[in-house]
Amino acid sequence: MTTVLAVDGLNVVYNGYYALDAVNVDVNKGESFGLVGESGSGKSTLLRAVAGLAPVTGGTIRVGSEQLKGARRSKAFYRQVQMVFQDPYGSLHPRQTIDRLLLEPLAIHGIGDAETRIARALDEVGLGNGFRFRYPHQLSGGQRQRVAIARALIVEPSILLLDEPTSALDASVQAEVLNLLEQVRKDRQLTFVMVSHDLGVVTHMCERLVVMRNGAVVERLSAKELAAGDVKEGYTRNLMVASKGFVRT
């Protein structure tokens, strides 16, 4: 089991507010790892810190054998690690066609053969050729999220960071996108780090997970343990009970 992502004692501070407080997380190669919590837990911040989008004030992040410095990342890093954002309505540039959006990462990294790669990327996420020259506002939420996934995969990363990729989608569309993500992971043998507030989604998609609260890790467990109710912390138990829905007492 090789560790592809190691976060050690990470602190992320915004104006004196500790969004992440000495957080330790290890992710193994090829596994699907979940970060669960409510709003303000720091789960998204952790993902963004790994991506270089959040100000790191302490602790270390290691990807593979490379130690990352602060918020600066190398181009090689961006070929290895990519991210899918939560809001399908905000993660695609409103003035660019899908074709242009997918061309951008190829152009930045100097990857040739753009025509075939773009067509293949769209095909992989289940979007036909008719979508290629549309603008984002002409696509539904689920279609946009598929484009976001295609964009992340087109540089052929090995680690995919997923920030609540299906929270903003309808239930039926969510199922399709989750199936797509699973398929993609299997085909490309990717490592997933997935953030979600939905325990059902996390236990479905992930093998191991951590529960976060107020910027710290509260519990570490496997999806199987969570499903079986084998939890140690009261907070985790509360989350489990809450996810079962409303019970009239």
Partner 1 sequence: MTTMLTVDNLRVRYPTRTGVIEAVRGVSFTLGRERLGIVGESGSGKSQTGRAIMGLTPPHALVSADTLNFSGIDLLSISAKQRRSLRGKRIAMVLQDPKYSLDPVMTIGKQITETLRTHEKISKGEARDRALAMLEAVQIRDPGRVYDLHPHEVSGGMGQRVMIAMMLIAGPELLIADEPTSALDVTVQLDVLKIMDKLVSERGMGLIFVSHDLRLVSSFCDRVLVMYAGRVVEELKASELTNAQHPYTRGLLNCMPVIGENRHPLPVLDRKPEWAA
Partner 2 sequence: MTAETTQPGSRASLRDWLLSDRPQSRRQARLGRAYVTWRQFSANRLAVLGLLIIIALVLVAALADVIAPHSPVIGDLTNAYLKPPGTPGYLLGTDDLGRDILSRLIYGSRWTLYIVILVAIISAPIGLIVGMVSGYLGGWTDTILMRITDIFLAFPKLVLALAFAGALGAGIENAVIAIAITSWPPYARLARAETMTVRHSDYISAVQLMGASSLRIIFRHVMPLCISSVIVRVTLDMAGVILTAAGLGFLGLGAQPPLPEWGVMIASGFKYYLDQWWVAAMPGIAILIVSLGFNLLGDGLRDALDPKESGQ
Alpha helices in 24-91 (DSSP H): 43-51, 75-80
> 71 or 242: whose CB is closer to partner 1?
242
What mask, x for binding partner 1 by CB under 8 A, covers residues 75 to 114?
----------------------------------------
- Could you tell which of partner 1, partner 2, none binds residue 53, using a CB distance below 5 to 8 A set by kind? partner 2
- Minimum CB separation from partner 1 for residue 210, in Å? 16
Contact status: 229 vs partner 2 (CB under 8 A): no
Contact status: 235 vs partner 2 (CB under 8 A): no
Cβ-count burial of 28 within 10 angstroms (0-12 exposed, 13-18 middle, 19+ buried)?
middle
Contact status: 64 vs partner 2 (CB under 8 A): no
**Which residues, other chains included, contact 196 with Cβ-Cβ below 8 Å and sequence gap of 6+?**
34, 35, 36, 164, 167, 202, 205
Distance CA 13, CA 55 (A): 7
Residues numbered 139 to 198 that lie near partner 2 (CB under 8 A) are 148, 151, 155
Among the listed residues 31, 87, 182, 198, the single contact to partner 2 using CB under 8 A: 87
Contact status: 176 vs partner 1 (CB under 8 A): yes
Q: Find the angle CA(159)-CA(163)-CA(168) to the nearest 5 degrees.
A: 140
What mask, x for binding partner 2 by CB under 8 A, covers residues 17 to 36?
--------------------
Contact status: 83 vs partner 2 (CB under 8 A): yes
Residues numbered 194 to 233 that lie near partner 1 (CB under 8 A) are 197-201, 203-205, 226-228
CB 151 within 8 A of CB 105: yes
CB 196 within 8 A of CB 202: yes
> 115 or 187: whose CB is closer to partner 1?
187
CB 195 within 8 A of CB 20: no
Starting at the edge strand that comes first in sequence, how are the strands of the sheet with 191-196 ordered? 81-84, 159-163, 191-196, 32-37, 208-213, 216-222
Among the listed residues 9, 66, 69, 108, the single contact to partner 2 using CB under 8 A: 108
